[in-house]
Structure 1
Amino acid sequence: MLKNAALEVGLRAALRGMYRVRVVGLENLPRRGPAVLASNHVSGLDVLLIWLYSRAAPRFLLPQAEYEWLGWVARWMRAIPIPGGEGPGLGEALQEAREELARGGTVGVFPEGVISRTGHLLPFSPDVSRVVAGTGAPVIPVYLEGLSGGLFSYWDGKLVRRPRRLRRPVIVQFGRAVAPNATLSQLRHAIMELGAVAAGRWHGPRDRLERRFIAAAKRNWAQLALADSGGRELSYGRALTASVLLARWLRRMRPAEPMIGILLPACAAAALANMAVLMSGKVPVNLNFTAGREAMQSAIEKCGLKTLLSSRQFLEKVSLPGLAGIVLLEDVSGAFTKLQKAAAAIAARLTPGRVVERLYGGRSVDELATVIFSSGSTAEPKGVMLSHRNIISNLDSLRRIFILSRRECVVGVLPFFHVFGFTCTLCFPLAYGLAAVYHPNPTEARAVGELTARYQGTLLIATPTFFGHYLRRCSPQEFSSLRYAISGGEKLPRALVCAFQDKFGLPLLEGYGTTELSPVVAVNVPDLEGEGLVQQGHKPGSVGRPIPGVAVRVLEPSTGEALPAGAEGMLAVRGPGCMLGYLGNPQRTAEVLREGWYLTGDIGALDEEGFLYVSDRLSRFSKIGGEMVPHMRLEEQISQLLDGTPCVVTSLPDPERGERLVVLYTRRDVSPAEIWSSLQRSSLPKLWLPKRENICWVEELPPPLPSGKLDLRRVKQLAAECMKRSDAGRG
């Protein structure tokens, strides 16, 4: 015992040299009697951490290869090796674990069976159920946070053999026991939800966006940071220097303004303006200049904006008369003397990074980072308040699941007033020292293709609408450097996925998120292969698995009851990316935030392997004859007849049935009668089908919003106009 105690002390000391371990939830471990600890599996040191920091000394079931790799440590911990396959050795290992439980001991298991290389929580093996069955032992979920990228974990597809960072924070979180007869799906959900709680505790108190940018700039001084199709290029050193200059100006000239408006498209100047505002201790608010004067003025008033940073070149292209408080970046930049610029460059270069962070970094990770006004596709835009913790947690989760190198180049086409543009194409590259290149108009496919080819872009994020433009107008050579093409914002049509793969030889990966969640909830990633293993990262038709640190529940919309795997219901999401709330609207905030869960208003399902499927917005279902009718299913059926020509289904009030479905389409050579007849022959329920007189040809559908989403409010208005003319004609 003395030898074991000394060895335990030595192992703890070695781990303390690599990690700052925080243990949470020890009160959930039983003080006596049998128990099973079931944990996620992210590194070769997981077993050691749980063994050392739990009250009991659990005997872990380990795959034979992992048992042999741990060697004497595994034997010292009395781990139980599991041979591969379903032979007698497996049964003997499981029986030994059951006997340990019968003696009142503790058994540890990794239900995933292998170390995750995709960063996601993998499917669970039924072995854990076979261990617990009939023993009455409680199952304690465990989540390890902070080990991804650490020693003996997988990072960028490779096993980490040297610590990338010493004294990295690690959380060992023990949850409340689940019932011994819980299904694998229920256990998986318990561990996933525990991960969402642990992820919220992981970031340091001063981990902020501008501090990440400063650190990245100091590490990558001469590398390309920003470029745009207007010809501007800046290294990280020049970007940091320019941000320091503008931050100083804002502190001196606008000391009492907590928020600063930014009125610019996606470009290098807009990226610099956002970083400078953050470095000045203020909150950037990127204004949607396409939303109309009334909506923009509403956002300005809600945020109390007095200064709007813009550029003369941009204002010459758009019509925005009468806006007060505009400051032109050209004028600010021109006012700096050569001496001031040189002094700022020298200070930024020679001052230690920690000092620069103290000078230009804010105080708290929980302070407001930005306000994003939702697209308003179904209702009036709401000001979504996102903290630094919200956004950084999303960035870190994305970094864990994508294999990247320092030569990556993010192609930004989404505006920064769109949350995917702000988080994924502005903050993501600048937080990790990647290059970002921008084009202000995502519909100009030829310019996007040329920009991607010129800078050898490797990651492109857009909506299905925009990817449709690129499919038609960009060449395979222009997109030959892309490694990731990620679609979000709308349901991704299967036909577009196949056509994109055929033309560019690259899978179009679908993801899902909302402004209120900073934004990414789930995303498909390429499958990973290595050492005889294949870990599935994507599944056609799904939006991928929830990213690390995010938990998803599927609820029955009317009762809020949690539904089992495979059942369709309303999606609720929990994680550190969940917004602070709606600006100036606590009542609406309380309606959608319930005990840490955000009610998305989207309908979807989780399968047994953890892949998420999103059907549609709850608002895009119509209740007809007591049954919920999904608009998207009808659109998919009609789209097949129209060979992909745009169509949309919406609903209007109906005095008899509550709602009536209306179909709008643009293909002139197909009559409404043909569409109606085709629907009658389909396998769709008759209750779902619109009446013949409610199928209308229109010259064009409303243009998409800048986010790429369909403008559903304008669609409903157009449908009402069509029905008014149709009713008048029949009268």
Structure 2
Amino acid sequence: MVLEIPERINLYKELRTQAKKNPKKVILEDLNGALTYKKVLLSVNVLSQKILQATNGEERVGLFLPNVTGQAIALFSLFKNGQVPCILNFSMGAQSLLDCIETTSLKTVITSKTFIKVAGLSMVIEEMEKKVHIVYVEDLKDNLALSHKIKGFLETKISCPVKASKEEVILFTSGTESKPKGVVLSHRNVYANIKQALEVIDITENDKIFNPLPLFHSFGMTVCIILPLIFNIKAFLYPSPLHYKEIPKMIKKHKSTITIATNTFFDQYAKYAEPDDFASLKYVIAGGEKLKEDVFETYKKKFSIEILQGYGATETSPIIALNTPTYNKFGSVGKILPLMDAKIEKVEGITEGGNLLVKGPNVMKGYMIHNEGFIPSSEWYNTGDIAKIDEEGYLHILSRLKRFSKIAGEMVSLNGVEDLAFQCFGDSNFYAVSVQDKRKGEKIILFTTVQNVDSKELRKFIKSKKVSSLYIPNQIHTIDSVPLLGSGKADYRKLEEMAAKL
């Protein structure tokens, strides 16, 4: 049977369909309690009315909320209203958030008083208030009238027409650019990506997803919030992926069968987890950054789990390729999803692989660019990743195009430098960046959290591998911890700033 995606999708309608079929099923849970489908639908139908009033029906509305059930309710409330949620990344600094607000011409941002207090974001909110009206979910709930509740109740019984809209959601790039770009995804983009993934991996209504990823993380939004609600799969929403000690215990307690995070987070969870904490897990999926060999081996030996590496981009809703239990090759990111096409374009100076371009129904509508407005996507999305596809059809991501350094006229892979350090010292906690150098154009600085690393040993090892001496770092610098982006990836921009000061 050929996979087909309907031309028109509304994610609120998909939620309503499942809620009608399974009203008593507990579908969402967080640290404060659980919600049945019936309660979720009622909450959406009620809250959507208050949001529409508080925002005067504005086309785009910002969401600045943690990973709790309330954010899922707010998200689908906006979907119901025909409004476009703009998911703001609360790990960004105030200036980047203001750039996001300006890029999407936001007038209103919805957040939570409790969240702002607990997360220590009062100063950020003060800056945001200079540009937008801040609406607190606590105030929306406190000011509910009986008429809102009655109308919401009736709408759970009678299917009312959903307001025609652009049916979009906007996420933002993680800030590796000078100003974040708004990534405009249609409901159909997101729905298509979920259907593509479900075509290659067996997820059933008996599964339970444990989600530590925030809504602004595209994997967190698509796979861990929208997928559960529109395909009847229970999800537990945990407020922060940084609670390394608590998360393994919570996975065990809730008998979760699926969890998704980054290599960095899985590395930390393994340090605190007991061997039986992950016994219920069927799928452990890593995305967002390269899965390191030592982390992969730790999960095999300690937990009898083979982590499945996936690959994607916010612009592709996000999944492009995925390893599965049936087709799994370590070192690759799996095979390209159904309905997607990929091509590799050669890049001057790079001998292995080339620039990866993809197209398919999950590719974004386009970008919102600061001071430029909406720029439609071209037919092929340029990932900016150097990749190759092997003879068995597995996709291998070799490096970011930007993760090359030009030294003495030669292109040197910074990922390659990290891999050599791992091979030499048996630890993946190495992070290579390049900075300007008067003599050779650029030089490589290697950061690590590993203590007592001998630079002479690495130099000797690289020479023994008969690799170009250009891969030898100019300096190895030990740090206590690696700066992270909110998505869980290493913050290479911050590392570059640190390297420039050495």
Q: TM-score, normalised by structure 2?
A: 0.93
Between the aligned partners of 2:370 and 2:146, the Cα distance in structure 1 is 46
- Does the 8 Å contact 2:329/2:394 carry over to 1? yes
Q: What per-residue deviation string (whole Å, max 9, x for no partner) do you get for residues 494-526 of structure 1?
A: 111111122222210001001111111000011
CA–CA separation in structure 2 for the residues paired with 1:213 and 1:261: 21
**Does the aligned pair in 2 maintain the 1:409–1:436 contact within 8 Å?**
yes
Rounded Cα–Cα distance in structure 2 between residues aligned with 1:487 and 1:588: 33
Corresponding residue pairs, total:
495
1:295 match: 96
Select which of 316, 319, 339 maps to 2:121. 319
What SS does the aligned partner of 1:410 have? strand
Against the structure 1 CA distance between its residues 588 and 331, is the aligned structure 2 distance closer, same or farther, given a 3 Å change threshold?
closer
Q: Which residue of 2 aligns with 1:650?
A: 433
1:284 aligned residue (76, 81, 85): 85
Kindly report which structure 2 residues correspond to 1:362-511, keeping only aligned pairs within 5 A, or say none: 362-363=163-164, 367-377=166-176, 379-511=178-310
Shift of 1:582: 1.4
Supply the distance in 2 between the matched residues of 1:510 and 1:223 (Cα, whole angstroms).
31
- Cross-structure match for 1:127: none
Whether 1:221 and 2:23 are equivalent positions in the alignment is yes
CA distance in structure 2 between the aligned counterparts of 1:586 and 1:381, rounded to whole angstroms: 12
Q: Distance in 2 between matches of 1:490 and 1:624?
A: 25
Aligned-pair CA distance for 1:272: 0.8
Q: Name 1:548's counterpart in structure 2.
A: 338
Residue 444 (structure 2) pairs with residue 661 (structure 1):
yes
Give a deviation string over 1:75-104, Cα, whole Å, max 9, x none. Answer: xxxxxxxxxxxxxxxxxxxxxxxxxxxxxx
Counterpart-to-counterpart distance in 2, 1:589 and 1:494: 40
Cα distance, 1:680 vs structure 2: 2.8
Bigger Cα Rg:
1
Q: Distance in 1 between matches of 2:104 and 2:440?
A: 42
Measure how far apart 1:589 and its partner are.
Answer: 8.4
> Cα 1:501–1:651, aligned 2, differ >3 Å: closer, same or farther?
same
Q: Quick one: distance in 2 between partners of 1:476 and 1:600? A: 37
- Partner of 2:369, secondary structure, is coil
Distance in 1 (CA, whole Å) between partners of 2:428 and 2:328 is 28
Question: Within the alignment, does 1:331 sit opposite 2:139 as a pair?
Answer: yes
1:73-112 paired onto structure 2 within 5 Å: none
Deviations 1:210-255 (A, max 9, x none): 11111111111111121112x2211110011000011111223323
**1:714-729 equivalences in 2 (<5 Å):** 714-722=494-502
Distance change (3 Å), C-alpha of 1:671 and 1:689: closer
* Contact 1:373–1:417 (CA under 8 A) maintained in structure 2: yes
Rounded Cα–Cα distance in structure 2 between residues aligned with 1:687 and 1:543: 28
Q: 1:602 to 1:586 in 2, by over 3 A?
A: farther
Shift of 1:339: 6.8
Secondary structure at 2:259's aligned position in 1?
Answer: strand
Please list every run of 5 or more consecutive structure 1 residues that lacks an aligned counterpart in the other structure. 1-42, 44-143, 147-201, 528-536, 723-731
Measure, in 2, the Cα distance between the counterparts of 1:697 and 1:660.
14
Structure 2: stretches of 5+ with no match in the other structure: none
Q: 1: CA distance between counterparts of 2:444 and 2:349?
A: 26
Larger RCO of the pair (alpha carbons < 8 Å, separation 6+): 2
1:633 aligns with 2:416: yes
* One-letter amino acid matched to 2:6: H
Mapped contact 2:96–2:175 kept (Cα < 8 A): no
Are residues 583 and 368 of structure 1, via their aligned partners in 2, closer, same or farther at CA, if it must alter by over 3 Å? farther
Aligned residue in 1 for 2:11: 209
Q: Which structure 2 residues correspond to residues 22-421 of structure 1 after superposition, within 5 A?
A: 43=1, 144-146=2-4, 202-205=5-8, 207-229=9-31, 231-317=32-118, 318-321=120-123, 322=126, 323-324=128-129, 325-337=133-145, 340-341=148-149, 344-345=152-153, 347-351=154-158, 355-356=159-160, 358=161, 361-363=162-164, 367-377=166-176, 379-421=178-220
SS of alignment partner, residue 583 of structure 1? strand
Q: Does 1:539 align with 2:329?
A: yes
1:668 counterpart letter in structure 2: Q
Q: Using the alignment, how far apart are the partners of 2:372 and 2:356 within structure 1?
A: 20
Q: Which amino acid aligns with 1:575?
A: G
For residue 228 of structure 1, what is the amino acid of its counterpart? D
Partner SS state of residue 179, structure 2: coil
Match of 1:297, SS?
A: helix
Identity %: 30
Note if contact 1:378-1:711 (Cα within 8 Å) is conserved in structure 2: no
Q: CA RMSD in A?
A: 2.3
CA distance in 2 between counterparts of 1:255 and 1:424 reads 31
Q: Counterparts of 2:381 and 2:28 in 1: how far apart (Å)?
A: 34
For residues 432 and 178 of structure 2, what CA distance do their matches in structure 1 show?
17
SS in 2 for 1:653: strand
Shift of residue 615 of structure 1?
A: 0.8
